[in-house]
Chain A
Amino acid sequence: MNRSSRLPWTSLKLIVACIYVFMLGPILITAAVAFNQDNRSYFPPRGFSLQWWGAAFGPQWLQPLLFSLELATLAALISAAAGVPLAFAFQRHEFPGKSLVRAITLGPLILPSLVTGIALLQFLSLIGLGRWMGFWALLIGHVVICLPFSVRTVAISLTAMPGNVESAAASLGATPYAVLRHVTLPLAAPGMFAGMIFAFIHSFDDVNLSLFIARPGERPLTVAILGFLDFGFAPTLAAVSIVSMLIPLALVAVFGRFVGIGDFLYQETGNG
């Protein structure tokens, strides 16, 4: 190989190396900081201690962590329950106002969730439901921003469904309900699960929307972390950050075995 043909390869390797350094470096440093002996964020860590990891699971952090888990689980379930029929409607049926409904449903993908958050805050106050702030308002907001994920993943499943399988089932004597139960839903299930996982992660990681709607005692982990940052970057925070990162990772690792999540990350729907 001559010099000129090696150059692109070398540059590519360099770029990939940079990506890894900037992606993994901060995470590894954060993880290391969490082992400091004193309540100071030295890097490399001075001394060794596990106390900050213990603190990360203390009541101060456990409460927002459980709150986030509960919120993300419900948001994922509700957006899947709403997303499946919506995806069917968008993929299979023509109805008046379809493009409008679809734009509204998928809108939060494009709209900054900050804006969605402010809008929801204003809306709830104006219609006199300000007392819903906290969990219920957060749940509404998270379902809104998670819905596009489940709609799209289910739509991908429906598009990828082999042609004629539903017709074949009908010709074999399956009633429309039996076709749905034995053919359509089982084939759409991977999309539903992938959508739920994406929705869970999206909800769990959200800070933009949650910031406006959370209230003391009812705030997700991300907002709690942000609030704690006012006191500086302590080793506890480093430990909490790592924990909050590992939960979605573990979820993907576990469910990724059953559902080809990559299929849904990289595949495009025709019109979903």
Chain B
Amino acid sequence: MAEPALQLQALSKRFGALTAVDAIDLTVAQGEFVTLLGPSGCGKTTTLNMIAGFLAPDAGSIRLRGKAVEALPPFRRDLGLVFQDYALFPHMTVAENVAFGLRMRHVTRPEITQRVAEALDLVQLSGLGDRRPLQLSGGQRQRVALARALVIRPAMLLLDEPLSNLDLKLREEMRVEISALQRRLGIATVFVTHDQGEALTMSDRIAVMRQGRIEQIGAPNDIYERPATRFVAGFIGTANLIDDADGVIVIRPERLKLSASGEQPLGTRSWPVHVERVIYLGPRLELRLRMADGTLVLAEAVNDGGTAWSAGDAAVAWFRPDDAWVIPGDEADR
């Protein structure tokens, strides 16, 4: 099937004087996992709400499997949604929650029973069908919400910051689990988050949003290693941004090396620096370095028992040109 699962064209939404979403284009292929990543207020949730049908766009089109849906109400769009607060129905059991979408579709009773059991099995909650949502842990509620969204076999899955209410360890487990489930089912997914870690680990492609626009869209390594703008470079991970004649040089701290003797391989660029502070992270060390002109740069060294740096040391910071990325001057200002 060549038809993309979702196609947004020049989609816009204004709230009074504020343009929340500014003519964005986005295509999600069948089975693809695309993340809308950005700080709060960047328009990612507004975009999701327009796809889901909770907000009417001011301009532009939304196509699901090639069919224009702007005029369709949410209950006709056939999408599976998972909300940040899970939005489980507190007055229904887990099984009733999962069955809800099937009941609304007038699926027969025996088939509902079977599909609910399958869905609960899929999210490893078999046997908890009679519980109430309030009797479940955060992670279990999350799974119920997923099962409820998936059981209707929706055209695509929309996930609105589904991990942000979980504690750190569980969040990392659920990242892996949701990714695995999504790949197994091959369901096109739009995932909204402000967490770059989630975006990098889960996505096929990431759309970095800022002020209602998509700043850059690409695979996780594209976004991280070849950021299109200063904003993207700074928002995803940590970056040293050094102004240069050609534009802005982006060097990730883990690619910036430090040498005490001043020795460095041929063809590298370097600056003399002195170590201002060493932050001990366990497996790694974060080195805060001050350049001669006063610029602060960060380097990250593996804590492999090599040179023991301490504050005040003079050194040379160097990098291979291949390890840096240059944002051309006209893009750098954005």
Which residues of A are interface residues toward B (Cβ below 8 A)? 162-165, 167-176, 178, 182-183, 186-187
B103-141 interface code vs A (CB 8 A; 1 in, 0 out): 011000000000000000000000000000000000000
Contact of A167 among B74, B77, B88 (CB under 8 A): B74
Instruction: Determine the residue in chain B with the shortest Cβ distance to A171.
Output: B81
Instruction: Write the nearest CB–CB distance from A164 to chain B, whole angstroms.
Output: 4
Which residues of B are interface residues toward A (Cβ below 8 A)? 52-54, 73-81, 83, 85, 87-91, 100-101, 104-105, 148-149, 152
Instruction: Write the nearest CB–CB distance from A183 to chain B, whole angstroms.
Output: 6
Main secondary structure, interface of A, reads helix
B75 pairs with A162, CB closer than 8 A: no
B104 pairs with A162, CB closer than 8 A: no
Contact of A168 among B53, B73, B76, B81 (CB under 8 A): B81
Contacts of A178 in B (CB 8 A): 75, 104
Cα A167 to Cα B76 with chains together (Å): 13
Q: A162-B85, A164-B83 are in contact. Are A172 and B90 (CB under 8 A)?
A: no
Cα A171 to Cα B81 with chains together (Å): 7
Cα A87 to Cα B85 with chains together (Å): 25
Cα A170 to Cα B79 with chains together (Å): 10
Contact of B90 among A167, A169, A174, A187 (CB under 8 A): A187
Instruction: Write the nearest CB–CB distance from A188 to chain B, whole angstroms.
Output: 11
Instruction: Write the nearest CB–CB distance from A157 to chain B, whole angstroms.
Output: 12
Contact of B148 among A162, A164, A172, A182 (CB under 8 A): A172
Cα A171 to Cα B75 with chains together (Å): 5
Contacts of B87 in A (CB 8 A): 162-165, 167-168
Instruction: Determine the residue in chain B with the shortest Cβ distance to A161.
Output: B90
Cα A164 to Cα B85 with chains together (Å): 8
Contacts of A171 in B (CB 8 A): 52-53, 74-75, 77, 79-81, 149
B75 pairs with A183, CB closer than 8 A: no
Instruction: Write the nearest CB–CB distance from B16 to chain A, whole angstroms.
Output: 14
Instruction: Write the nearest CB–CB distance from A118 to chain B, whole angstroms.
Output: 44
Instruction: Write the nearest CB–CB distance from A179 to chain B, whole angstroms.
Output: 8
Instruction: Determine the residue in chain A with the shortest Cβ distance to B91.
Output: A186
Name 29 A/B residue pairs within 8 A (Cβ), A-sorted.
A162-B85, A162-B88, A163-B85, A163-B87, A165-B87, A165-B88, A167-B54, A168-B148, A169-B104, A170-B53, A170-B54, A170-B74, A171-B52, A171-B53, A171-B80, A171-B81, A172-B100, A172-B148, A172-B149, A172-B152, A173-B104, A173-B105, A173-B152, A174-B75, A178-B75, A182-B89, A183-B89, A186-B91, A187-B90
Instruction: Write the nearest CB–CB distance from B86 to chain A, whole angstroms.
Output: 8
Contacts of A167 in B (CB 8 A): 52, 54, 74, 81, 83, 87
Instruction: Write the nearest CB–CB distance from A76 to chain B, whole angstroms.
Output: 23
Cα A164 to Cα B82 with chains together (Å): 10
Contacts of A187 in B (CB 8 A): 90-91
Cα A150 to Cα B73 with chains together (Å): 32
Contacts of B52 in A (CB 8 A): 167, 171
Closest A-B pairs by Cβ, 7 of them: A172-B101, A164-B87, A173-B104, A168-B87, A170-B74, A171-B81, A164-B83
Question: Residue among B81, B89, B91, B101 with the most chain A CB within 10 A?
Answer: B89
Contact of B100 among A163, A164, A182, A186 (CB under 8 A): A182
Instruction: Determine the residue in chain A with the shortest Cβ distance to B105.
Output: A173
Cα A175 to Cα B76 with chains together (Å): 9
Cα A181 to Cα B53 with chains together (Å): 21
Known: A167-B83, A170-B75, A171-B75. 4 other contacts (CB 8 A): A164-B85, A167-B54, A168-B88, A176-B75
Cα A60 to Cα B73 with chains together (Å): 62
Instruction: Write the nearest CB–CB distance from A39 to chain B, whole angstroms.
Output: 55
Q: A170-B75, A171-B75 are in contact. Are A165 and B104 (CB under 8 A)?
A: no
Contacts of B81 in A (CB 8 A): 167-168, 171
A169 pairs with B79, CB closer than 8 A: no
Cα A175 to Cα B149 with chains together (Å): 16
Contacts of A174 in B (CB 8 A): 75, 100, 104
Contacts of B104 in A (CB 8 A): 169, 172-175, 178
Contacts of A163 in B (CB 8 A): 83, 85, 87
B74 pairs with A175, CB closer than 8 A: no
Cα A164 to Cα B105 with chains together (Å): 20
Contacts of B54 in A (CB 8 A): 167, 170
Contacts of B73 in A (CB 8 A): 170
A169 pairs with B100, CB closer than 8 A: yes
A168 pairs with B83, CB closer than 8 A: yes
Contacts of B83 in A (CB 8 A): 163-164, 167-168
Cα A162 to Cα B83 with chains together (Å): 11
Cα A163 to Cα B54 with chains together (Å): 14
Contacts of A170 in B (CB 8 A): 53-54, 73-75
Cα A89 to Cα B334 with chains together (Å): 45
A169 pairs with B89, CB closer than 8 A: yes
Instruction: Write the nearest CB–CB distance from A204 to chain B, whole angstroms.
Output: 30
Contacts of A182 in B (CB 8 A): 89, 100
Cα A231 to Cα B84 with chains together (Å): 67
Contacts of B91 in A (CB 8 A): 186-187
B90 pairs with A162, CB closer than 8 A: yes
Contacts of B101 in A (CB 8 A): 172-173
Instruction: Write the nearest CB–CB distance from A134 to chain B, whole angstroms.
Output: 42
Cα A129 to Cα B89 with chains together (Å): 49
Instruction: Write the nearest CB–CB distance from B194 to chain A, whole angstroms.
Output: 18
Question: Residue among A170, A171, A174, A187 with the most chain B CB within 10 A?
Answer: A171
